[in-house]
């Protein structure tokens, strides 16, 4: 059918011994006739399907693709289109399929989202390598872990994996705060603080597991658990009346930013 359209578009053109200018004009006229013929035959873009993208990414992908209703399907440059979509920050891999007569399918694999990273008042979504996913809004991912402070983006993957292996701990951690670019503090939803050492934090978490099994520490709550000294575990209980802190509410960015700077004290 396509070759028939080409023949119809070029019929009437005889053999031409052309100069370069005339050859260019002739080529343009042939291209124009071919495009018109394919559009008349129904080969025009009507539907662009985006598969594998989250709702927050779909608009950016469509904008990068740049396909408008009525664009000729047969002359779409799929390689160039794929390159534009790959430039969207949320996208890892892209496959583009042309379904004639009028549908284009853009199938994407998005970059995994690891956490929301806070530095100062800025909240960004990061992938497991620590790269910021520009087009992803932190407000759209309230269930992602929160990591706070300079350097938190590059070291978060390993620590989040360690915490994920401990469901009781994971369920109570509010934020991971990077301290001095060396170590982590775990801020708990009930207001407590767990201070981890710069070296061998996994060993410190194992000590915490042992303490929790023996005394139900995570269940009963605490003000502070200091695990920075590998020889000593220091636990500061909550106030003498055993009162539990205020009910959990979303973290105040200003408070968490200050915590990132002062948590080592």
- Sequence-separated contacts (24+) of 2-9 with Cβ below 8 Å: 2/38, 2/74, 5/34, 5/37, 5/38, 5/41, 6/34, 6/37, 8/37, 9/33, 9/34, 9/36, 9/37
Cβ atoms of 177 and 153 closer than 8 Å: no
All residues at 6 or more sequence positions from 214 whose CB lies less than 8 Å from its CB, including other chains: none
Cβ atoms of 187 and 173 closer than 8 Å: yes
CA distance linking residue 209 with residue 193, whole number of Å: 15
Q: Which stretch of DSSP H or E encloses residue 62?
A: helix 55-65
Cβ atoms of 73 and 101 closer than 8 Å: yes
Per-residue model confidence (pLDDT) at position 148: 97
| Topology given in CATH for the domain delimited by 47-110 | Ubiquitin-like (UB roll) (3.10.20)
Per-residue model confidence (pLDDT) at position 122: 94
Domain ranges within the chain, ordered by starting residue = 47-110, 115-262
The radius of gyration computed from the CA coordinates of the chain, to the nearest angstrom, equals: 29
| DSSP-assigned letter for residue 177 | E
Here the tokens at position 125 are: 């979504």
SS3 sequence of 4-24: HHHHHHHCCCCCCCCCHHHHH
Could you give the count of Cα atoms lying within 13 Å of 97 in the half-sphere of its Cβ?
8
Per-residue model confidence (pLDDT) at position 12: 43
Q: Outline where 66-200 has alpha helix (H).
A: 78-86, 152-164, 167-170
Render pLDDT for 3-44 as a digit per residue (tens, 0 to 9): 454 444 444 444 444 455 554 544 444 455 555 555 555 689
Per-residue model confidence (pLDDT) at position 201: 95
Write out residues in the chain with pLDDT < 50, as ranges.
Answer: 3, 5-18, 23, 25-30, 240-252, 255-256, 258-260, 262-265
Per-residue model confidence (pLDDT) at position 16: 41
- Evaluated on CA atoms 127, 131, 136, 139, the torsion sign reads positive
Per-residue model confidence (pLDDT) at position 238: 81
Nearest 10 degrees: Cα torsion 162, 165, 168, 173: 30
Per-residue model confidence (pLDDT) at position 250: 42
Per-residue model confidence (pLDDT) at position 212: 92
Q: Which CATH class is domain 115-262?
A: alpha beta
């Amino acid at each position: 059918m396509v070759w028939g359209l080409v023949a119809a578009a070029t019929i009437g053109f005889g053999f031409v011994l052309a100069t370069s200018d005339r050859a260019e004009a002739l080529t343009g006229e042939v291209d124009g006739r071919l495009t018109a013929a394919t559009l008349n035959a129904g080969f025009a873009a009507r539907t662009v399907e985006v598969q594998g993208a989250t709702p927050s990414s779909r608009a950016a992908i469509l904008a990068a693709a740049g396909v408008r209703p009525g664009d000729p399907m047969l002359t779409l440059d799929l390689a160039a289109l794929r390159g534009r979509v790959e430039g969207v920050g949320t996208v890892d891999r892209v496959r583009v399929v042309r379904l004639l007569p009028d549908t284009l399918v853009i199938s994407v694999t998005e970059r995994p989202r690891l956490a929301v990273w806070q530095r100062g008042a800025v909240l960004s979504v990061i992938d497991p390598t620590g790269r910021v996913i520009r087009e992803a809004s932190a407000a759209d991912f309230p269930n992602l872990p929160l990591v706070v402070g300079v350097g938190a983006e590059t070291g978060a993957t390993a620590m989040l994996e360690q915490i994920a292996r401990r469901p009781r701990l994971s369920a109570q951690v509010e934020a991971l705060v990077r301290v001095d670019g060396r170590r982590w503090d775990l801020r708990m939803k009930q207001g407590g603080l767990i201070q981890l050492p710069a070296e061998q934090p996994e060993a410190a978490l194992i000590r915490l597991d042992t303490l929790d099994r023996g005394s139900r520490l995570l269940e009963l709550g605490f003000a502070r658990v200091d695990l920075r000294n590998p020889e000593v575990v220091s636990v500061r209980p909550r106030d003498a009346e055993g009162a539990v802190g205020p009910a959990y509410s979303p973290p105040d960015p200003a408070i968490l930013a200050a915590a990132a700077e002062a948590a080592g004290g």
